[in-house]
């Protein structure tokens, strides 16, 4: 296990920690993020670590809009060997597992993961028990609907207020079970049951969606379809500049962790901004 505690908060210079996405899936929305074997995942993680990633996140099930769920067995067969391989190569690297399933989270933590990123925000009733047992940090994300239907005309009265209330409810469940607020990371769920207007409002609000000042804030915006709606970029291959534009305001919005496909580009962006500042 790595020393994850300082890594769920912003860097001392105020810039977010960088989490590199390593998908061990054949159908993630950004094709360049797909790793078809554990060996490829380890190699990608090693490269991202050298490029400046503070975190590596392993995912074995795509949750893109319209995605079809996979079985627990398939997800485990993808996630566990990748985590074991990365931990063997990088004993001190912080590893997150992106999963909605308590059994996958448990096996991932046993294999060397440090953090559970649960896009269903405790949708699996057993997930809470795993988080409490392993005393690990957890990211709870807002999602309206499920991946297969979440983008079917999502609507809100006040999206910032509703997302913040949802995250408050979920974090209260964790705190009541004994999880300290400083182990909880809030994610507004950009692109998960939101229109462009909703996404922009949530990003503009920054820490306004975080229900407790002790909690951390994560943004996952990299190459998402909001850049199709905002910039007309049809392919995820053409959305890097938009992603970096959002990353450039993440410091002033007090983001703690930014989840990205392109580690070196984000690392360079923050380094150049810091030099000019």
Known catalytic membership, residue 224: yes
**pLDDT tens track for 116-131:** 999 999 999 999 999 9
Looking at domain 5-276, its CATH superfamily turns out to be: Dihydropteroate synthase-like (3.20.20.20)
Domain ranges in the chain are 5-276
Q: For residues 55 and 17, what is the distance between their CA atoms, to the nearest angstrom?
A: 8
Look at residue 154 in the predicted model and tell me its pLDDT. Answer: 77
DSSP conformation class of 142: -
Please answer whether residues 159 and 78 qualify as being in contact, where contact means their C-beta atoms are separated by less than 8 angstroms: no
pTM: 0.94
* Token pair recorded at residue 184: 């909880």
Q: Nearest to residue 38, comparing CAs of 24, 21, 26?
A: 24
The 3-state DSSP composition of the chain as helix, strand, coil percent (nearest 5) reads 45, 15, 40
Least confident of 17-31, 82-96, 158-172: 17-31
Please report how the helices 240-247 and 263-276 are oriented relative to each other, as an axis angle in degrees rounded to 10. Answer: 40
Look at residue 95 in the predicted model and tell me its pLDDT. Answer: 98
Q: Place 148 in a pLDDT band, splitting at 50, 70 and 90.
A: low
Q: Nearest to residue 178, comparing CAs of 129, 213, 244?
A: 129
Look at residue 115 in the predicted model and tell me its pLDDT. Answer: 98
pLDDT above 60 for 150: no
* Token pair recorded at residue 56: 């590596």
Least confident of 41-55, 134-148, 225-239: 134-148
Q: For residues 25 and 28, what is the distance between their CA atoms, to the nearest angstrom?
A: 6
Q: For residues 114 and 66, what is the distance between their CA atoms, to the nearest angstrom?
A: 29
Q: For residues 24 and 98, what is the distance between their CA atoms, to the nearest angstrom?
A: 11
Please answer whether residues 189 and 205 qualify as being in contact, where contact means their C-beta atoms are separated by less than 8 angstroms: no
**pLDDT tens track for 52-110:** 999 999 999 987 776 778 899 999 999 999 999 999 999 999 999 999 999 999 999 99
| Catalytic one of 17, 100, 107, 224 | 224
Please answer whether residues 29 and 277 qualify as being in contact, where contact means their C-beta atoms are separated by less than 8 angstroms: no
Q: Which residues have CB under 8 Å from 243's CB, separation 6+?
A: 221, 222, 223, 224, 227, 260, 261, 262, 266
């Amino acid at each position: 296990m790595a020393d994850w505690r300082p890594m769920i908060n912003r860097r001392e210079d105020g810039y977010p920690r960088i989490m590199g996405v390593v998908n061990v899936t054949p159908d993630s929305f950004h094709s360049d993020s797909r790793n078809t074997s554990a060996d490829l995942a380890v190699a990608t993680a090693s490269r991202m670590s050298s490029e400046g990633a503070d975190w590596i996140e392993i995912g074995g099930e795509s949750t893109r809009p319209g995605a079809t769920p996979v079985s627990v067995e398939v997800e485990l067969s993808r996630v566990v060997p990748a985590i074991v391989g990365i931990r063997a190569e990088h004993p001190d690297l912080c590893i997150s597992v992106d999963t909605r399933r308590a059994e996958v989270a448990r096996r991932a933590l046993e294999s060397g993961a440090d953090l559970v990123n649960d896009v269903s925000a405790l949708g699996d009733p057993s997930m809470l028990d795993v988080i409490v047992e392993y005393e690990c940090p957890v990211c709870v994300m807002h999602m309206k609907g499920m991946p297969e239907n979440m983008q079917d005309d999502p609507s809100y009265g006040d999206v910032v207020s509703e997302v913040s209330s949802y995250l408050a409810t979920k974090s209260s469940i964790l705190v009541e079970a004994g999880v300290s607020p400083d182990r909880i990371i809030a994610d507004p769920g950009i692109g998960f049951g939101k229109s462009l207007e909703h996404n922009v409002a949530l990003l503009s609000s920054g820490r306004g969606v975080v229900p407790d000042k002790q909690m951390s804030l994560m943004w996952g915006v990299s190459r998402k379809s909001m850049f199709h709606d905002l910039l007309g970029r049809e392919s995820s291959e053409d959305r890097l500049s938009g992603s970096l534009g959002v990353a450039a305001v993440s410091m002033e919005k007090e983001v703690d962790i930014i989840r990205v496909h392109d580690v070196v580009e984000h690392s360079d962006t923050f380094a150049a901004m810091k030099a000019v500042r």
